[in-house]
Amino acid sequence: MSSSREVTGIEAHVAGATGRVVLRDPRDSGYGHVVERYVSTKRHGRPRYMELLGGRYLNPDRPPPRGFVRGIVEDAAAVTDEELDALLAYEWRSRYTAAWLIGVDRRARFRERLGELLLASEVCYAGGAYCFALARLGTRADAELLVAYLDRYLPRTDLRYDQPEALGALLRLDAGLGSSYAERFLVPDGLWDTWVGALPWLRDDPGFTPERQRWWSDLRCDFADGWTRP
């Protein structure tokens, strides 16, 4: 029987949290194999989660190793919903990888769970993968989850969380759906401008334009489209 445990201090830090966080170790629920099988597996010298996070596979001048791509596609199809649940209840590496597998395979069953995790923002890095997965699922329901996140976190100019990734994913969804969910965040001197402008050196940084965030989302999603069937 699985059990959750609240951790603090160094344990929370290792898990990717800045404060208290509730975790469920997969070993306590009979899924002790999932981290090694899906997260820390090594195909080309580095654990999978590091390859995904590092983004070297996105370099158009350096195609990713075929084994890396094949492994992601095969595991995204093979991982069970129960295994994904176990990964999403654990620390940031597991959550990050699980979200990628969900996005690659378009597991719509996890939409609401991803939205909850994104809004909670319990651990580092994983939020960007949740945004990728929601962009891949591609519906208005996914867009509304991203809107809820931006409504909560763009006013928080003191927090540098996953606002850029969420905006990029939302812009991609708008383009695909013919919608305008992102429009109200992008009015002059609106929430996006205020959030970026809270750090003066970001105001003119081309890396923090809406166009750049959409480009990053497109790059990841289009690359995943090349791995998988529509």
Tell me the pLDDT of the chain (230 aa) as tens digits. 457 777 667 666 566 676 767 788 898 889 999 999 999 998 767 899 999 998 888 877 777 777 888 999 999 999 999 999 999 999 999 999 999 999 999 999 999 999 999 999 999 999 999 999 999 999 999 999 999 999 999 999 999 999 999 999 999 999 999 999 999 999 999 999 999 999 887 777 888 899 999 999 999 999 898 877 55
Centre a 10 Å sphere on the Cβ of residue 61 and count the other Cβ atoms it contains. 4
Whole-prediction pTM: 0.92
- 48: which 2 tokens? 């999978």
Q: Which of 91, 84, 97 is nearest to 130 (CA)?
A: 97
Model pLDDT, residue 206: 83
Model pLDDT, residue 46: 86
DSSP H or E run through 218: helix 210-227
**Dihedral pair phi/psi, residue 23, rounded to 5°:** -125, 155
The alpha carbon dihedral of 160, 19, 23, 13 has a sign of positive
Number of helices (H) and strands (E) in the chain: give both, helices first: 12, 2
Angstrom CA distances, 197 to 170, 203, 208, stand at 20, 5, 10
218-230 burial, b if ≥16 CB within 10 A, otherwise e? Answer: bebbeebeeeeee
